[in-house]
Amino acid sequence: SQQGEEDPQALSIQEGENATMNCSYKTSINNLQWYRQNSGRGLVHLILIRSNEREKHSGRLRVTLDTSKKSSSLLITASRAADTASYFCATDGASNTGKLIFGQGTTLQVKP
């Protein structure tokens, strides 16, 4: 069955607001990754958080990981219109093959 589920499926906010997206997964992991996909483009890697980490920051991005709840969240602070995209979480299912299992994504719209 599909590994990751994301919530909400769609999110619409005003520029300057914060956006929070959640991801749940089902199996053990070595790490969890977040990707962004602009319309009609490929995925862009945003951040990787390891299973022994609880929080990680990169610019305006903040990712948390709760392995006991098998969940992660991505917070984008002070959103911009350019942040409009789909955001996906991906887990490795504790394998070392590089296989990633993606969630269905959250579509974020940031209105100017």
Partner 1 sequence: DTAVSQTPKYLVTQMGNDKSIKCEQNLGHDTMYWYKQDSKKFLKIMFSYNNKELIINETVPNRFSPKSPDKAHLNLHINSLELGDSAVYFCASTPRGGSGTGQYFGPGTRLTVL
User: Which pair of structure tokens corresponds to residue 81?
Assistant: 């219109």
**Phi, psi (rounded to 5 degrees) for 12:** -125, 125
The residue among 71 and 88 lying less far from partner 1, judged by its C-beta, is 88
The residue among 29 and 110 lying less far from partner 1, judged by its C-beta, is 29
The residue among 15 and 31 lying less far from partner 1, judged by its C-beta, is 31
Closest CA to 49 of 30, 68, 76, 25: 30
State the minimum distance, in angstroms, from the CB of residue 96 to partner 1: 5
Residue with the two structure tokens 């709760």: 66
State the minimum distance, in angstroms, from the CB of residue 16 to partner 1: 27
Interacting residues toward partner 1 by CB under 8 A: 2, 30-31, 33, 35, 37, 40-46, 48, 86, 88, 92, 95-102, 104-105
The enclosing H or E element of 34 equals: strand 31-37
Residue with the two structure tokens 């991801």: 23
State the minimum distance, in angstroms, from the CB of residue 100 to partner 1: 6
User: Which pair of structure tokens corresponds to residue 39?
Assistant: 């319309």
The residue among 71 and 106 lying less far from partner 1, judged by its C-beta, is 106
